[in-house]
Amino acid sequence: MKKQGFIHVIICLGMLLQTSLYAKETPSLTDTKAYVKALKQLTDVMVSDVTGPCAAARYYAYANLAPYEILSRNVANAKLVKLKGKLNAYPNFDDLKSTSPIAEDFAAIYSLLRMGEDLLPSGYTLESARKELVKNVEQSRKITPQTLQASIAYADSVVKRLVKYAAKDGYVKTSGYLRYTPINKEGYWQPTPPAYTEAYEPHWRTLRPFVLDSAAQFKPTPAIPYSKDKNSAFFGLVKEVYDATQHLTKEQIHIANFWDCNPFFLNQKGHVSFGTKKISPGGHWMGITGIACLQKKVNLSEAVRWHAMVGITMADAFISCWDEKYRSNRIRPETAINQQIDPNWRGLLQTPPFPEYTSGHSVISSAVATLLTHLVGDNFAYTDVVEVEFGIPKRSFKSFKQAASEAAISRFYGGIHFKDSIEYGAKQGANIGDFVIKKVLAQ
């Protein structure tokens, strides 16, 4: 985080009432800006690490829960409901006490960076940002040394408990399972060119969900059965993708590239191959959440609430989607088209290394859009600039649901999903979003 951003945070910290353990702050957009910037630093580390879509959503969920817990201790932040009993196996934080007042806004941003350090493979690179935050607070003298140390100690205790909670969700066990072997039968998923990468996260459905009762709670409508019969419904899906990708408009190409969100794209130039790193679907929607926070000028507690709810919704949406992917295990359009129509066909987007049904971006986008519409409101117009840093022009939307619908159809334009996967995936995601709202946000 840049020094200027930290100075803004320090100014706000000076407004805290040091005489009360539950000091109330004047709502300040500068705190929200600092939080969004800190979260962007976590995103940058994930891009550098080539963090896959499932893992990225998991990291975002846990990382944003630490600031949520810190700010929820303040009785003034009534919207930050207690999550004990609402999230599966969620720990109790009521026993964590501080004998001195704490600067909650500082502690929230500190804890976000600290969670990134502990969770991300290259999280150690966030250490300098965390130390710079502490250094600027010390130099400002707006907070007493006692309050600063109490804030750090309290934040560290919250982080420690959440990291322990994360360690028991089953993620670590997935690395010990046997490598996945693709089913060598017609109609099943097979690795695709150019890298023929092995299956991504075939055991993700075994993770503990945050809110869902189980990974299979929202099983979608079954996929249209595979068939080589040219009069079958499935061949109609195959032909539909093939025909559409032959005549894409500039707008459709832009939409496909804008929502690509492929963490690693393998480029091939002659005999040379090199990779391009990009943001994940979860990173894109976290960016959208930050845009909404800044545009609505919400205070820090509301910004943290929105990000935390989006995080757990995305994480559960990926668990649900991956449960179906490796159940139906359906062939990708690229493979089907190469076998049945054109052996040389390639889609606009690079086919990701996992089964086709249901469309991940359709599920995740619909789930998050449903949640954000509940939190922010319907017909919330905004301009999405998340992909600009990756060389893709901005796009404007009239609502989150419009954006989610575009993200879903982008997979069809890109040639990586069939229409039923997109449509049923969107319904699956909406059901997940509604369930999170009902179980977590309902008072």
Give residues with Cβ within 8 angstroms of 103, minimum separation 6. 13, 16, 23, 137, 143, 147, 148, 151
What was the pLDDT predicted at 114? 98
What was the pLDDT predicted at 136? 84
pTM score over 0.85: yes
CA–CA separation, 414 vs 245, rounded Å? 7
What was the pLDDT predicted at 94? 93
What was the pLDDT predicted at 278? 86
Query: Closest Cα to residue 412, out of 344, 369, 358, 341?
Result: 358
What was the pLDDT predicted at 28? 56
What was the pLDDT predicted at 124? 98
Give residues with Cβ within 8 angstroms of 130, minimum separation 6. 110, 113, 114, 117
The whole-number mean pLDDT for each consecutive block of 10 residues of the chain, a chain of 443 residues, reads: 41 36 45 95 97 97 98 92 97 92 95 98 97 89 91 98 98 92 97 94 98 98 97 98 98 97 70 72 98 97 98 98 98 98 97 98 98 97 97 97 98 98 98 98 81
The amino acid sitting at 280 is S
Domains and CATH numbers, the chain: 3-172 (1.10.606.20), 229-441 (1.10.606.20)
What was the pLDDT predicted at 62? 98
